[in-house]
Structure 1
Amino acid sequence: MSLSCQSFLDIKPEDSLTTSSYYQTKQQINNALTALYAPLKGTALGENYLIRVIAPSDEGYYFSKVRIGPATISNSADDSDIYQVWQACYVAINYANNLLEGLEKSSTLDITTQNHARGEAKFLRGYYYFLLAQWFGDVPLHLDASKNANDGIRERKPVKEVYDQIIKDMTEADSLLEDQTLIRIGYAERVTKSAVEGILARVCLYAAGEPVNDTKRYKDALFWAKKLIASGEHALNSDFRQIFINHSQDKYDLKESIWEVGYSFVGSGSSQNASGVVGVYAGVAQTYTPMVNGVVSYDSGYVYGYEKVHPRLYNIYEAGDVRRDWTIGNYNYNNGIRTYLSPTQLWERMPAKWRREYESAQIRSEQRSNSTNFPLLRYSDVLLMLAEAENEVNGPTDLAYEAINQVRRRAIIPTKVVNTLLMTNQGSGYTSVPSITITGGGGIGLSILPTVVSGRVHLILRNQGNSYTSSPTISIGNQWQNNTYYSAGTQVAVASRLYNVTLAGTSTNTAPSNGSGSSSAATTGAVFTYVGPSAQVIAILSNQPTVELPMNFSKSTFRKAIQDERYRELAFEGLRFADLRRWGILVSTFKSLANDINGNSLSIPVAPVNLAVEALGPVNNISARDIFWPIPIRDLILNPKMAQNVGF
């Protein structure tokens, strides 16, 4: 985003940020904080992290000819992506340590500036250690600034001890940032009290789950989630889709989107750009570049399409859930033209939360980058964390139900929708795309896209509509009417028969009934020549959607409901792999995907050969060792006190 209120984030870090005499003015503090936030948008924790590092899960898989590293869980100690995450986190941690030590020596800063800077530094140090603990487990703890090369020679601390330090840092940050709220600062790219409390809830859930299993932390997660919610500063955006449109349009939604990685794009070649790739690499592929007056025109924005969606994710959405066809594209592009997918085309789908078509024309014309922000914490996540923690501590109470049901109420249309279109006959002999007429049923919003292939009609359900009380009637093509002028070449349907008008004229009160040949002009007015059967379709309504969960779940059943709701709500936001790990079902979930790929799962067709190779990569590669990444070989060589993770 490129708003003036975030100018502190756009300042380039200065080489002298670590000098002991530096931290004396607000500008110097802002410069130091810029360096501390910068790794979140850098290549390691920005582009590579979003494209490859967190790509594989039961949400989707990385689709590219290059199948190495975390993208396919073919991890090795010399992998560059793994090393860059490690390096970026420790560089940022050293920035934080320098800033904290510098603040101790500062004699000119007012107490509010010092507290805010100290709070942000402590939180971000904790956050970078949180990333390290997730991916590497036991890691060295550096809580003071490096003075010489020997400072890096330290043993790894147990991952529980690392989490304890993270929680300590973030808890102190919560007090230091007491008055630093989203409402006060007006944008979501800087750490606020809400961000601290929401991320603390997440950290505590991770510490409570596998492989750390510090289960007392469930109570802490519940405390922090409740504290954030009790502030009254946050609420769900009523429109799920608008959350991500706002990201693409450089708009802040301070109620829902609590903390974001901020990107900005000023213009081609500008030194002020801090651009990202959200929606550029992972989205519905669009690489067609038509020429308009000799200039390349990116109509919907260039997207590489490096990630494909697992059909299992598509199938877990319930009838009337608006999140499905926004999270997962129900279309592809063919030579720049959007073509919609049929309900059976499940393996061809791509993520679509961030759609470049909503960016400004200037930014959309950039091929490799944009200014779309990435959410690190949303309010719906906090509600689901509260529900999960409450269930683990007290079982499925009213509080837990209300939290998850808030998320479901926003997502699911509470009326019957058109669930599927049953083509009882695709017809034959169609020479052009027929019109679609929808009548009856009592609902609104149903949208159907017709296409014709080899004379047969195919229908794509673009929008399921809502508020239906009975199945609407869907008429395909021109339906015969009396006393109507028909020109030659027009196609007309009469009940189950399709005709070409071969002699223009005005129809009489007698409809054509011939099952072959041509009607008589004396009888039917215009001459109707039989072509074949007309296309017929029946709209099948969904059952009445279940919006709110029934109040009779056991603790384990409610836990599974939370896992499924997080799957639906937070897909492609970088949380699924870690969720599966902390729930202790990472390897088993990946291995079960083989059944989907091979066509052995209900409602999922076998994967096309060209996609199956890519989809099977992480499934075949994952094993128990991949709970954590290997320690980078470079650091093993430089630090003789550090041992490698088991299995590498």
Structure 2
Amino acid sequence: MNNNISHYINKACRILVIPAALLSLGSCTKALEETPYSFYSPGNFYKNESDAKIAMNGVYSALNTWEMYQQPFWNLTVLDDDHVSGADWFLGTSGAGNPQGYWGVDGPWVGCYTIIGRANTVLENVGKLETDIDAEIKQRILGECYFLRGWAYFQLVQLYGGVPIRTMTLSEDPERNRPRASVEEVYAAIIADFKKAETMLFPAGHAKAGELGRVTRGLAKGMLAKTYLTMASGAATGNVSVRGGQDNGYYTYAKNIVAGYENIDSKHYAELARDKAMELILDNEYSLYDSWKELWAKGSRNRREHMWEVQSMTGTAFMNNLHNYFSALSTFGRGATWFTNHHYLDYEDADLRVLDGVVHNYATNTGTKYFYPSWQAAIYKTINGVTYNNNGTTDDRAYVIKYADVSDPTLANSDAYFPLMRYSEIYLIYAEAANEANDGPTTEAYTYLKKVRDRAHATEAPAGMDKEQFRSFVIAERAREFALEGVRRFDLMRWGIYLQVMNKIGTGQNNISKVRAPRNLLLPIPLSEINSNQSIPGNNPGW
């Protein structure tokens, strides 16, 4: 029996056409409209536990749409950092600092507000149910809504800065014109939602936690810790050292306080992040996989280390083209996205994240055989009597295995899962936060950094680092651990070094432009939102 949430979302969508507040797409206002489809409306749909579950699945389903993780969300985030390279035809828009040239540029705004609108509808209507629903299931469903709404606002505030806060549907609050809240106000709303979710959700594995793929209590704690850390780092001062530039040297940058974070107490939020991460660690709810290969196998999805993933299911509408763009084998011949040679050189030779996690020998869909990297030809050029090719330039492509294990790799769309939070990030959140809160690394900060490096078979981190050295090391470790998982861009942004790091490169591998302007610090607000919301007088700076 398939107990993955994708199965139930797909089944629910076949059973019933539910209200437009659960299914509509468009601008913020459009996503929140409640015009009923067919004869269903919130008033006559929400009658029992089954209805509540179907509606809740409609909130989740917004993650796997053409506004979110079927492409736009990861296209606008994963492709925009210092370590990514790829085909110029694919990275020539958002990957080159020109998100408006990408057809899905409005996707994150529309998709996140769709999640918010659907969550508000479920909160208001399931909250009224008193009969024909298990009280604990009702509590869990409400907790899921609070979490998903908080998660959507967390994405919005990072990508757009201050945004309108809507915690009610238009039937409860008919005011369509909502001004942008401040960054601090948005974070207050996010924290409130995650805290509510934490008290209402069940831990992973609980009998009433629901199918695999649903959010859990531990995930709410993890996202709280990540939110606190984002606030702390955005408001922090000092320096960060980063390996990069044209020569892949080490450069130290004066950290900028991120706009909107000026009045945030950096040390206080670092303490909150540290304590919340440790609380989750002590819960023993999750654990790391021992093997990097096993971590990315189909059978490991939604288990142990994978705290939350975007679900997918072969043979349904809930598929994506992650495999096709990120893997060595593709309908394009080879995938369109890989990480750079410079980033590859930031791993130790025995690090499993490149030894096992990068594809060193592969064949295209036409049978042409390649190896990577060109400078390790003695290891990878000839394997079991078979010779592989590499021209030393455009053939140097570090393809990862993270999205490769799918049901049918010969198809453009497949059932790849996208990781939204892994347990290894909790260890690194703790290490980073403890360092910032203590004004230098503690023994425990080293301990949890070591757990991540031990799994990778990397050597121990240098002893005796000061605060800024440890800070820089952890940021680099996050880049090694989460390559092409959509983490690096947000790390550069929250530490206020995005422009410096990108512009130090200029033109990157495969002639991909890394030149960025101040306007690239935020995405443009969709024109449809500006035109329909009279309380937003203009766009983000530069757009």
**TM-score per shorter chain, which class?**
0.7 to 0.9
CA drift at 1:350 = 3.6
**Do the aligned partners of residues 153 and 392 (structure 1) sit closer, same or farther apart at CA in structure 2, a change above 3 Å counting?**
same
CA drift at 1:83 = 1.3
CA distance in 2, matches of 1:146, 1:369: 36
Alignment partner of 2:318: what SS?
A: coil
1:491-527 superposed Cα distances (whole Å, 9 cap, x missing partner)? xxxxxxxxxxxxxxxxxxxxxxxxxxxxxxxxxxxxx
1:42-69 superposed Cα distances (whole Å, 9 cap, x missing partner)? 1221122234542121221352425554
Aligned to 1:352: 400
CA drift at 1:278 = 2.8
CA distance in 2, matches of 1:202, 1:250: 27
Alignment partner of 2:363: what SS?
A: strand
The yes-or-no answer on 1:582 pairing with 2:494 is yes
The yes-or-no answer on 1:323 pairing with 2:364 is no
Aligned to 1:258: 307
The yes-or-no answer on 1:411 pairing with 2:441 is no
Aligned to 2:9: 9
CA distance in 2, matches of 1:82, 1:70: 8
**Do the aligned partners of residues 591 and 626 (structure 1) sit closer, same or farther apart at CA in structure 2, a change above 3 Å counting?**
same
Alignment partner of 1:280: what SS?
A: helix
1:75-127 superposed Cα distances (whole Å, 9 cap, x missing partner)? 34x86422122111111111111111112321213321221011000000001
CA drift at 1:204 = 1.5
Aligned to 1:592: 504
**Do the aligned partners of residues 51 and 106 (structure 1) sit closer, same or farther apart at CA in structure 2, a change above 3 Å counting?**
same
> Which amino acid counterpart does residue 48 of structure 2 have in structure 1?
T
Higher helix content, 1 or 2: 2
> Which amino acid counterpart does residue 532 of structure 2 have in structure 1?
L
Alignment partner of 2:18: what SS?
A: coil
Aligned to 2:295: 243
CA distance in 2, matches of 1:388, 1:566: 10
Alignment partner of 2:420: what SS?
A: strand
The yes-or-no answer on 1:548 pairing with 2:443 is no
TM-score by length of structure 1 reads 0.68
CA distance in 1, matches of 2:172, 2:120: 14
The yes-or-no answer on 1:282 pairing with 2:313 is no
1:191-229 superposed Cα distances (whole Å, 9 cap, x missing partner)? 001111111111221222322432232122112211111
CA drift at 1:5 = 4.5
CA distance in 2, matches of 1:282, 1:82: 20
Moved more, 20-29 or 628-637: 20-29
CA distance in 2, matches of 1:549, 1:251: 28
CA drift at 1:9 = 3.0
**Do the aligned partners of residues 40 and 303 (structure 1) sit closer, same or farther apart at CA in structure 2, a change above 3 Å counting?**
farther
CA distance in 2, matches of 1:284, 1:5: 27
The yes-or-no answer on 1:392 pairing with 2:436 is yes
The aligned length equals 468
Aligned to 1:142: 166
Runs ≥4 residues deviating over 6 A: none
Give structure 1 stretches of 5+ with no counterpart. 267-271, 288-301, 414-546, 598-606
Alpha-carbon contact 1:587-1:623 (below 8 Å) kept: yes
TM-score by length of structure 2 reads 0.81
Correspondent of 1:47 among 63, 70, 77: 70
Alpha-carbon contact 1:384-1:566 (below 8 Å) kept: yes
1:456-484 superposed Cα distances (whole Å, 9 cap, x missing partner)? xxxxxxxxxxxxxxxxxxxxxxxxxxxxx
- Higher relative contact order at CA 8 Å, sep ≥6: structure 1 or structure 2? 2
CA distance in 2, matches of 1:240, 1:257: 13
Alpha-carbon contact 1:130-1:163 (below 8 Å) kept: yes
**Do the aligned partners of residues 113 and 183 (structure 1) sit closer, same or farther apart at CA in structure 2, a change above 3 Å counting?**
closer
**Do the aligned partners of residues 557 and 47 (structure 1) sit closer, same or farther apart at CA in structure 2, a change above 3 Å counting?**
same
CA distance in 1, matches of 2:206, 2:456: 26
**Do the aligned partners of residues 387 and 548 (structure 1) sit closer, same or farther apart at CA in structure 2, a change above 3 Å counting?**
same
**Do the aligned partners of residues 342 and 389 (structure 1) sit closer, same or farther apart at CA in structure 2, a change above 3 Å counting?**
closer
**Do the aligned partners of residues 52 and 639 (structure 1) sit closer, same or farther apart at CA in structure 2, a change above 3 Å counting?**
closer
Q: Over aligned residue pairs, what C-alpha RMSD do you find?
A: 2.4
CA distance in 2, matches of 1:124, 1:353: 28
Alignment partner of 1:339: what SS?
A: strand
Aligned to 2:95: 71
CA drift at 1:22 = 2.8
The yes-or-no answer on 1:181 pairing with 2:233 is no
CA distance in 1, matches of 2:82, 2:212: 29
Alpha-carbon contact 2:373-2:398 (below 8 Å) kept: no
Alignment partner of 1:376: what SS?
A: strand
The yes-or-no answer on 1:401 pairing with 2:446 is yes
Spell out the pairing of 1:444-593 with structure 2 (5 A cutoff).
547-593=459-505
Correspondent of 1:37 among 60, 70, 74: 60
Alpha-carbon contact 1:250-1:373 (below 8 Å) kept: no
CA distance in 2, matches of 1:171, 1:222: 16
CA drift at 1:582 = 0.5
> Which amino acid counterpart does residue 165 of structure 1 have in structure 2?
A
Alpha-carbon contact 2:225-2:274 (below 8 Å) kept: yes
Alignment partner of 2:424: what SS?
A: helix
CA distance in 1, matches of 2:46, 2:304: 33
CA distance in 1, matches of 2:393, 2:92: 25
CA distance in 1, matches of 2:461, 2:89: 43
> Which amino acid counterpart does residue 8 of structure 1 have in structure 2?
Y
CA distance in 2, matches of 1:326, 1:51: 25
Moved more, 567-576 or 55-64: 55-64
Aligned to 1:339: 370
Aligned to 1:157: 181
**Do the aligned partners of residues 89 and 632 (structure 1) sit closer, same or farther apart at CA in structure 2, a change above 3 Å counting?**
same
Give structure 2 stretches of 5+ with no counterpart. 23-40, 235-257, 376-391
Alignment partner of 1:364: what SS?
A: coil
The yes-or-no answer on 1:87 pairing with 2:110 is yes
Alpha-carbon contact 1:68-1:75 (below 8 Å) kept: no
CA drift at 1:132 = 0.8
Alignment partner of 2:286: what SS?
A: coil
Alpha-carbon contact 2:326-2:403 (below 8 Å) kept: no
The yes-or-no answer on 1:629 pairing with 2:523 is yes
Alpha-carbon contact 1:332-1:349 (below 8 Å) kept: no
> Which amino acid counterpart does residue 78 of structure 2 have in structure 1?
I
CA drift at 1:157 = 0.3
Alignment partner of 1:46: what SS?
A: coil
Higher strand content, 1 or 2: 1
CA distance in 2, matches of 1:79, 1:339: 30
CA drift at 1:593 = 1.9
1:12-71 superposed Cα distances (whole Å, 9 cap, x missing partner)? 163236513433312111111111111111122112223454212122135242555423
CA distance in 2, matches of 1:44, 1:350: 28
CA distance in 2, matches of 1:157, 1:207: 16
Alpha-carbon contact 1:94-1:146 (below 8 Å) kept: no
